[in-house]
Structure 1
Amino acid sequence: MSIYDYSVTTPQGEEVSLGQFKGKVMLIVNTATGCGFTPQYKDLEEIYEAFHDKGLEIIDIPCNQFAGQTPGTDEEIHQFCTLKYNTQFPQMKKSDVNGENALPLYKYLKSQQGFHGFGKGPTALMMSTMLKKIDSDYKNNPEIKWNFTKFLVDRGGNVVARFEPTEKMKDVSAEIEKLI
């Protein structure tokens, strides 16, 4: 199977086939409205505005699996994002990214790009310390570790990178720019 065989669901219940994005670069991200990384919405919107007309699609999938940091309804989440961050990229239905109810898309993404670490710095250290308490084997499994994990898909449908939430958004933007 390829990325184009998967679909996501809009808050209105419509299925969106990723096949419609063939030939485009995709950034797929699980998001949250009440997380320390939530300000990344601003960066994501800036990236979207810079690269959308050149072939980038951002697919926002809200998720409430990490400390309950996305408690609202799909409509409340959408209102928060558009009012606070003026997001214009498509937002999908709130969904699970880990566990038995995980979106099939996320099972595929994790099989293509496993966890490579949080990097260096205070935020990375904080995430590592926190994750050790939640999952002592977190380094050795591909599960999504927290909100704002991003997967980058090239124009050929290959999952070429995984960015943990600790990754600098300027580095994410630079990788997208290489593919555009």
Structure 2
Amino acid sequence: MKGVALTMHALHRGEQALAEQLTVIAARHPREHEVRHVTRYLALWSNEHCRRLADTGRHHGLRLDVPSASPPGPPANDRHPAAEVFGRTPEPVPELLRDLRELHLGAVGNSLHWVMLGQAAQASKDTRLLDLVSFCHPRTLRQMHWSTTMIKNLSPQLLTAGDEQDG
């Protein structure tokens, strides 16, 4: 079961990182209403995954941190209050796409860990672990799907903005 424990630790770290990343994205892009609202909601999912991993981990002899009920606010250096007061904000075009790309890649990494845990749960007939994977992995897949959809929807507009002026 050492491999299961290592995978659970990696997944717990990955879900914590994803929750933090989602929270930062929400704060970094306040004018993108869908991004702001959905990322906050998805951060709650990742925090719940961490809590469930910690609970299941106890049955495997692991001690994993349990996140607080609400995700932490973004680090102070990720906000741009002075720029907003003066009407100047950092250029959101590449930053938003970069953030969504990084978010997607983090969710993909977590998804692969959920797949590995699911396979181990089936092989060892660990119903507790299988229940955990069955609950959390579909949500991770939805996080991936949302980020892909947002990238598809925003890329044409954001990547071609200003091209009309150049031509």
Normalization by structure 1: what TM-score? 0.32
Normalization by structure 2: what TM-score? 0.34
* Structure with bigger RCO (C-alpha 8 Å, 6+ apart): 1
Question: Normalized per residue, which structure has more helix?
Answer: 2
Question: Normalized per residue, which structure has more strand?
Answer: 1
